[in-house]
Chains A and B, each alone.
Chain A
Amino acid sequence: MTIKHESQKIAQNFYTFAVILFLVQIVVGIIAALQFIWPDFFILNFNTIKTLHINALIVWLLTGLMGATYYVIPEESETELWSVPLARLQFWATVVAITAVVLGYIWAGLNPQANKLVFGTLMLNEGRKYIEAPRWADNLIVISVLLFLFNCFMTVLKTKKWTGIQGVLLGGLTFLALMYIPGMFYTKSMVKDQFWWWWVVHLWVEGAWEIIAGALLAFMLMKVIGAKREVLEKWMYIEVGLVMFTGILGTGHHYYWIGTPAYWLWIGGIFSSLEPIPLLVMVWDAFRTTREARAVTNKAGLYYTVAHAIFNFVGAGLWGVIHTLPQVNRWTHGTQITTAHGHLAFYGAYVLLVMSMIYVTLPAIRGVKEFDPSRAFQAFWWMTISMIFIVLTTTGAGMVQTYMERLMGLDYVTVKASYNLWFWIVRAIFGVGFLIGVLIFVVDYFKLGKEPVRVIKAAPERA
């Protein structure tokens, strides 16, 4: 496994930053889990910890996807990246901007009065979930993403080899960049605020990101198994097509109860119920292709790729569809069932996606012929089993909450502090289990290709 173009190595900068932020995300996640049991547990309040938890997630996934794209584009275009210095500049600009934003969150968390209103925007934290980053940071992020896209498109234009994979990948990334804009202006109405906010959040994770996932799935199956591009690209178009046909109007399942007209109950209910279909096609696609596999050298890469397809369907698809109908959602909306869905969806659809891209491309970047996948497997099972229990405990908590608070009329605080306490304790324990998996992965990431391959000696013959 070696790279064909020297400039593909830039991917590693992004991967490293992503892996470090992943670790940060899980550590603050455990603090947040403990705050469900002891709200005063840490110097920073839950809102700041949670902001760090989900922002670290989004940023590490995005930088991971950027790195992956910088790897894919030269490979598909069969040429060097248009400008490596520009990619490097864009990388460091991103690191500096993100660090400044994080320090701002912590500052605002320690002293909310420092979060001042200047020219109509809050300077440290905009107080809008996922897109808390202040306006000045939004602008920096937009510049960074535009530089990134410019660099990629210029590379493609060098050889004009518009392969299906890179076309869909760059299309998804452009859609992603465009859908950041609806979250960048202030509205006096909280209803309009949430209306536009869902354009960003939903059309990212159930639109643009799934398109990127479809393209990268095809790329990985091609690289790891050597499957035929023709067939892979055709199914990729069908998958991402179905993602868009169901997902765009599926946005309606967020417009049931926020003050928007009632016709969204129908539109959202029908289209979002169909959203698992493309994800199921991806699973079938991965299985069909894998069956053809003869000699696979990158076992870890294959393992993560298939796992990504499966858990994308289970987390984003199944755990979403169980509460997407308005008749059900009326009772479950805003409960821990949403938390459970959020965790399994992000893990299956995007955490495993970026990790599989790392395992598929990193050996080539480091020039490794063969590597021992045992740590990759260990990390996978620690993380996956822990995540399943995190999801089951929060689903259980959500069912108890739906029944006791929504149906019986018990107080939110009573249900959370008494009846669901056991779930919080078990969830925190499995949070530590997940951290163990991440630590194994981090060690594997930094050591991969840098230690001699263990030669398995034949067992000595018995006398």
Chain B
Amino acid sequence: MSNKGARNLFIVGSLFFFAIFLALSFDTIGKLDKRAPEITEDVNAGKMVWHKYDCIGCHTIFGTGSYFAPDMTKVSERRPKEYLKQFMMDPKSVKPNAAMPKLGISSEEADHLIAFFDWISKVDTNGWPPKPILATAAGVNSRELSAGQKVYQSLGCSNCHTISGIGGTAGPELTHVGNKRDRAWLIGHFKNPDDYVPHSAMPKVKAPDADIEQLAEYMLTLK
């Protein structure tokens, strides 16, 4: 191949691939709004708060960002809103060993951010993030789950609490909670956490009494 031929191949080929890329981009842009809910004023205001505090300087969103703090794509599904708001405004008041500093996010800004995260969590991301394989595998080794364990899973308690290493760290660890609490305390606390732990960020457990009792039974086995 002559130099001129190589040069022309480079120029024409680049333009060709760029043209394909432009056409695909045009198609993509047209499809994006259908793959996500409508953007309200609150969602847009929340996005601006996200930018203002340079949240992406630590966190990731859709897996893109700074890898220093948790991904925010599904945060509004995995954490109760009351908890999120309290955490954003003053992280260490909810979780004393939180790495996140108090940035001065106002109550209104926190509400906007939550609306933004709610929008983000509903975007069609081709199934990302995938559900962890081991945490979702119920009845591993043909071991039946107890009624309380099933309640624990269906309410999503492990989003915030850890048992034997698996689960979130937003709330206290429950591996040995059976040693610390009795049945009456557990049931009362599930129904109204604030009565037992002042300023608790935990939401009330909204479930039938029978389920709450089963959950308490399960907690008591954790020793």
Report whether chain A binds chain B.
Answer: yes
Q: Is A50 an interface residue (CB 8 A)?
A: yes
Q: Is A331 an interface residue (CB 8 A)?
A: yes
CB distance from A109 to the nearest CB of B (A): 8
Given known contacts A128-B51, A241-B9, A330-B128, A408 and B35 CB-to-CB distance under 8 angstroms: no
Q: For A164, list chain B residues within 8 Å (CB).
A: 3, 7
Of the A-B pairs whose beta carbons lie under 8 Å apart in the complex, a sample of 25, sorted by A's number, is A35-B68, A47-B55, A115-B53, A117-B48, A127-B52, A129-B56, A190-B61, A190-B119, A191-B32, A193-B47, A230-B3, A233-B3, A237-B10, A245-B17, A248-B17, A248-B18, A248-B20, A258-B64, A330-B128, A333-B63, A335-B67, A406-B129, A406-B132, A410-B166, A411-B162
Q: Is A47 touching B58 in the complex (CB atoms < 8 A)?
A: yes
Bound-state CA distance A255–B126 (Å) is 10
Segment with Cβ contacts to B, from A19-27, A260-268, A433-441 = A260-268
Report the contact-size class of chain B (Cβ under 8 Å from the partner). 35 or more
Q: Is A399 an interface residue (CB 8 A)?
A: no
**A404-447 interface mask toward B, CB cutoff 8 Å, 1 = contact, 0 = none?**
01111111111001000000000000000000000000000000
CB distance from A428 to the nearest CB of B (A): 14
Interface size on A, residues (CB 8 A): 77
Q: Is B184 an interface residue (CB 8 A)?
A: no
Q: Is B1 an interface residue (CB 8 A)?
A: yes
**B35 CB contact (under 8 Å) in A128, A240, A261, A412:** A261
Q: Is B52 touching A191 in the complex (CB atoms < 8 A)?
A: no
Q: For B56, list chain A residues within 8 Å (CB).
A: 47, 127-129
Known interface pairs A238-B10, A241-B10, A330-B127; 20 further A-B residue pairs with C-beta atoms within 8 A, sorted by A's residue number: A45-B58, A112-B103, A122-B48, A129-B64, A164-B7, A191-B35, A191-B123, A237-B10, A244-B10, A256-B126, A258-B125, A259-B32, A259-B124, A259-B125, A260-B32, A330-B130, A334-B71, A407-B133, A408-B134, A411-B169
**B66 CB contact (under 8 Å) in A129, A188, A245:** A129
**B102-130 interface mask toward A, CB cutoff 8 Å, 1 = contact, 0 = none?**
01100000000000100110011111111
CB distance from B57 to the nearest CB of A (A): 2
**A31-63 interface mask toward B, CB cutoff 8 Å, 1 = contact, 0 = none?**
000011001100001111011000000000000
**A39 CB contact (under 8 Å) in B36, B39, B99, B129:** B99
Q: Is B6 touching A238 in the complex (CB atoms < 8 A)?
A: yes
Q: Sorted from nearest, which 10 A-B pairs have the closest CB atoms? A: A47-B57, A409-B135, A334-B63, A409-B132, A127-B51, A257-B128, A237-B6, A241-B10, A39-B99, A244-B14
**B64 CB contact (under 8 Å) in A167, A188, A194, A414:** A194
Q: Is A194 touching B62 in the complex (CB atoms < 8 A)?
A: yes
| Contacts between chains A and B (CB distance < 8 A), count | 220
Q: Is B9 touching A267 in the complex (CB atoms < 8 A)?
A: no
Given known contacts A249-B21, A256-B126, A127 and B14 CB-to-CB distance under 8 angstroms: no
Q: Is B33 an interface residue (CB 8 A)?
A: yes
Q: Is A259 touching B62 in the complex (CB atoms < 8 A)?
A: yes
Q: Is A245 touching B103 in the complex (CB atoms < 8 A)?
A: no
Interface centre among B17, B60, B133 (most CB of A within 10 A): B17
Q: Is A126 touching B47 in the complex (CB atoms < 8 A)?
A: no
Q: Is B62 touching A47 in the complex (CB atoms < 8 A)?
A: no
**A127 CB contact (under 8 Å) in B7, B54, B128:** B54
Q: Is B13 an interface residue (CB 8 A)?
A: yes
Q: For B65, list chain A residues within 8 Å (CB).
A: 129, 334
Of chain B, the residue at the smallest CB distance from A247 is B17
Q: Is A336 an interface residue (CB 8 A)?
A: yes
Bound-state CA distance A255–B6 (Å) is 31
Q: For A194, list chain B residues within 8 Å (CB).
A: 62, 64
Q: Is A251 an interface residue (CB 8 A)?
A: yes
Q: For A265, list chain B residues within 8 Å (CB).
A: 126
Given known contacts A195-B28, A237-B10, A241-B13, A413 and B3 CB-to-CB distance under 8 angstroms: no
